[in-house]
Chain A
Amino acid sequence: RKEVEQDPGPFNVPEGATVAFNCTYSNSASQSFFWYRQDCRKEPKLLMSVYSSGNEDGRFTAQLNRASQYISLLIRDSKLSDSATYLCVVLNSNYQLIWGAGTKLIIKP
């Protein structure tokens, strides 16, 4: 089992819809959690950190569920420009950054 797992997708979503995807992690002592966004043929860029209490940044909401060992990303009122691959990143107890393989999101007009 991989230490960080994501549904690879693609998620095909109409513009304006709400979409959510999860990322599960196996190391219960993991410390920090992040969502990165990667556009096609570009480098990953930080989208948002994920805090224990959950956090929101505009249309994006990230949540952490330590009991079930997953983090989630919710995108409301999706835009065409949200089309990208979303990478889940976990800092484990060995202070290693472990990257998920990414979830591909396609927003359709």
Chain B
Amino acid sequence: DAGVIQSPRHEVTEMGQEVTLRCKPISGHDYLFWYRQTMMRGLELLIYFNNNVPIDDSGMPEDRFSAKMPNASFSTLKIQPSEPRDSAVYFCASSRRGGNTEAFFGQGTRLTVV
């Protein structure tokens, strides 16, 4: 299995632009997580899905952030409009049965908003 696949690996964009991050979870995993990591705040859970349904989006910072999972093999995290404070590494992770099982992470998308 190729593992969790994220794209792009790096994204540099100007403030105000729309940014879309993509994730393909491991086949057969029912849970998908989106995380953001910064030096100041560490790893933060933004949202997670179970069987393509958003379960907890309380970590989404504000309305500029949205996430979708149209099918079991694809998810997007969108930021519109982007701001410099959104600069971070965004990780997607998937797991077979949720919180008490191993989460497998993608390599992350390093987002820089200038």
Contact = CB atoms under 8 A, between A and B. Distances in A.
Q: Do A and B bind each other?
A: yes
Interface of A: 31-32, 34, 42-46, 49, 87, 91, 95-97, 99-102
Interface of B: 33, 42-45, 56, 91, 98-100, 102-103, 105-108
B56 A96 contact: yes
Closest 7 pairs between A and B when the two form their complex, measured CB to CB: A43-B105, A101-B42, A99-B43, A32-B100, A91-B99, A46-B102, A97-B99
B42 A42 contact: no
A87 B102 CA distance: 13
B99 A96 contact: yes
B43 A43 contact: no
A95 B58 CA distance: 14
Contact of A97 (B42, B45, B91, B105): B45
A43 B56 contact: no
B100 A102 contact: no
Nearest to A91: B99
A44 B100 contact: no
Given A43-B107, A43-B108, A102-B42, A32 B102 contact: no
Given A31-B100, A32-B99, A46-B103, A87 B91 contact: no
B93 to A, nearest CB: 8
A100 B106 CA distance: 19
A5 to B, nearest CB: 11
A99 B105 CA distance: 14
29 contacts: A31-B100, A32-B99, A32-B100, A34-B102, A43-B91, A43-B105, A43-B106, A43-B107, A43-B108, A44-B43, A44-B103, A45-B105, A46-B102, A46-B103, A91-B100, A95-B98, A95-B99, A96-B56, A96-B99, A97-B33, A97-B103, A99-B42, A99-B43, A99-B44, A99-B45, A100-B42, A101-B42, A101-B43, A102-B42
Nearest to B44: A99
Given A32-B99, A43-B91, 9 more contacts: A34-B102, A43-B108, A44-B105, A46-B103, A49-B102, A91-B99, A91-B100, A99-B42, A101-B43
